[in-house]
Amino acid sequence: MKATTNHRKVTAALRACLPAVCALLMAGPVPARAAALPDSPAGDWLYVTLTRGDARSGDTRGALLLCDPPQGHPQAARACGELRAARGEVGRIPLRDAFCPMVHAPVTASARGAWGGRPVTYEETFANSCVLAARTGAVFALPR
């Protein structure tokens, strides 16, 4: 007799929860990051990051570089000027003459954003910060 009473209670509980479960299933998957991400900035912009050392244990810094008007980055005006000259492509920034030490202290630079209405992505690892600065100008000139 007790088993029948418990079975009825469980069945009643399941029937009570069924509408809520059906509503959740019909709603479909909810993007978890959608609420966390702000709207993209207007105009030309890049979110730049710089990781010194190993990506798993290194020091990572970032900044949002806005170029309409230049702001959000320690050297925004200079970085935006270099990017304008390179049509938003970090890899097209002219190489500067520099005497860099042959020291292995890797830095990884990455950028994502929009320039001229098109998406921009960039990532490259350099031997050290001197080589990075010679190759990318002020775009990744972030304070330590």
* Helix, coil or strand: residue 84: helix
User: What's the pLDDT tens digit per position in 80-117?
Assistant: 999 999 999 999 999 999 999 999 999 999 999 999 99
Cβ 48 vs Cβ 90: under 8 Å = no
pLDDT in tens, 17-76: 434 433 433 343 433 333 333 466 778 999 999 999 876 767 899 999 999 999 999 999
Instruction: Give the strands of the sheet with 118-126, arranged side by side.
Output: 70-71, 59-67, 45-52, 107-115, 118-126
Name the pTM for this structure: 0.69
Residue 113: its pLDDT value, please? 96
The Cα–Cα gap between 78 and 41 comes to: 19
Pairing of strands 107-115, 45-52: antiparallel
Task: Please report the domains of the chain, with CATH numbers, ordered by start residue.
Answer: 45-136 (3.30.350.10)
Other beta carbons within 10 Å of 12: 10
